Amino acid sequence: MFPNAPAICYSGFRDGQSPDAQIFPTYDEVKEDLRILQKDWNYLRLYDCDEHAERVFEVIEKENMDFEVMLGAYIAAEVNNPDCPWGADYSEEQLAKNRKHNDDQMRALVRMTERYADCIFSLSVGNEATVDWTDHLVPVERVVEFVQYVKEHTNKPVTFCENFLPWGTKLEPLVEAVDFISIHTYPVWEYKSIDDAMHYTRQNYIDVANRYPHKTVVITEAGWATASNGRGIEPHNASQALQDRYLVELMAWSKEEDVLTFVFEAFDENWKGSDDPLEPEKHWGIYGVDRKQKTLQVLDPS
């Protein structure tokens, strides 16, 4: 469905910045990031149609950069989720605000697509909002509504990005609505060793692709953390060497099998997770917060 080429998830929040605080990277900071990425990557995935995304598109246009972008919308919890380990219990007032926010996000997604259509190749109406553990749980029927709305108002392919597991059964009502399926696969979160990692990733992909052979399946997140305090990932299973090996094998496989695969992620982001500096959520970048490359030879496994 899409030409296979190097693809990466990009969120450029630096120290002191975060979407929660509504403090966004500047034009020059985004330009620095994209100049680094343009050497090796063709596709970018963005998570929200906010001020950060607006700056990314401004930089791409003004600096004449050649990126194809998957633009996403961030959708908030519409129902409580007692299965979320860190808590997802909201007041009815907050849930009502979230539903309005989500409708507004779909309209913003459409508006931004109209403005920057030339460099947008696809759209996602949300991210990890139906998996059992999420803190921003949204009913599947609402996600279907989002997809239908966006498809009615744009001519871009529309998807929803989610862990591979819900696509097995829970998201069956969504399959016919989306133009393609987007899955996430994280062997390290599932306590897999590096020796088992690519088998696990391949199997995640094959299980979904075989279940829905009439749909293109894209991997919109796959990566390996380089540090961990033990929260969800054993410290010995998070390192630079392990990230290097996994990403080299992942990119070689995706090229060989012609599977569009987005590496998660471009840069480390210190705003994520807890205040612990070894919180694994902070350490997925192939570049550090200092913008220096961590990962070796990802795009040329030979």
pLDDT given for residue 299 in this prediction: 54
CB 17 within 8 A of CB 24: yes
pLDDT confidence of residue 1: 86
pTM: 0.96
Q: pLDDT at position 301, please? A: 42
CB 170 within 8 A of CB 190: no
Per-residue confidence (pLDDT) for residue 176, from 0 to 100: 96
For 43, list phi and psi in degrees, rounded to 5.
Answer: -105, 140
CB contact at 8 A, 152 and 103: no
* CA pair distance 168, 175, nearest whole angstrom: 10
Task: Give Cβ neighbours of residue 104 (< 8 Å, ≥ 6 apart).
Answer: none
Question: What does the pLDDT read at residue 297?
Answer: 55
How many C-beta atoms surround the C-beta of residue 190 within 10 A? Answer: 13
What pLDDT is recorded for position 302?
Answer: 41
Q: What is the reported pLDDT for 13?
A: 98
- Spatial separation of the C-alpha atoms in residues 162 and 128, rounded to whole Å: 5
| Distance between CA atoms of residues 288 and 24, nearest Å | 18
For position 190, what pLDDT does the model report? 96
Count of all residues that appear for the chain in the document: 302
Residue type, position 71, single letter: L
> What pLDDT, on a 0 to 100 scale, did the predictor assign at position 294?
87
* pLDDT string in tens for the chain (302-residue length): 899 999 999 999 999 999 999 999 999 999 999 999 999 999 999 999 999 999 999 999 999 999 999 999 999 999 999 999 999 999 999 999 999 999 999 999 999 999 999 999 999 999 999 999 999 999 999 999 999 999 999 999 999 999 999 999 999 999 999 999 999 999 999 999 999 999 999 999 999 999 999 999 999 999 999 999 999 999 999 999 999 999 999 999 999 999 999 999 999 999 999 999 999 999 999 999 999 998 665 555 44
- Cα angle: 47, vertex 130, 8; to 5 degrees: 30
CATH 3.40.50.300 fits 7-282, yes or no: no
Residues 168, 51: Cα–Cα separation, whole Å = 34
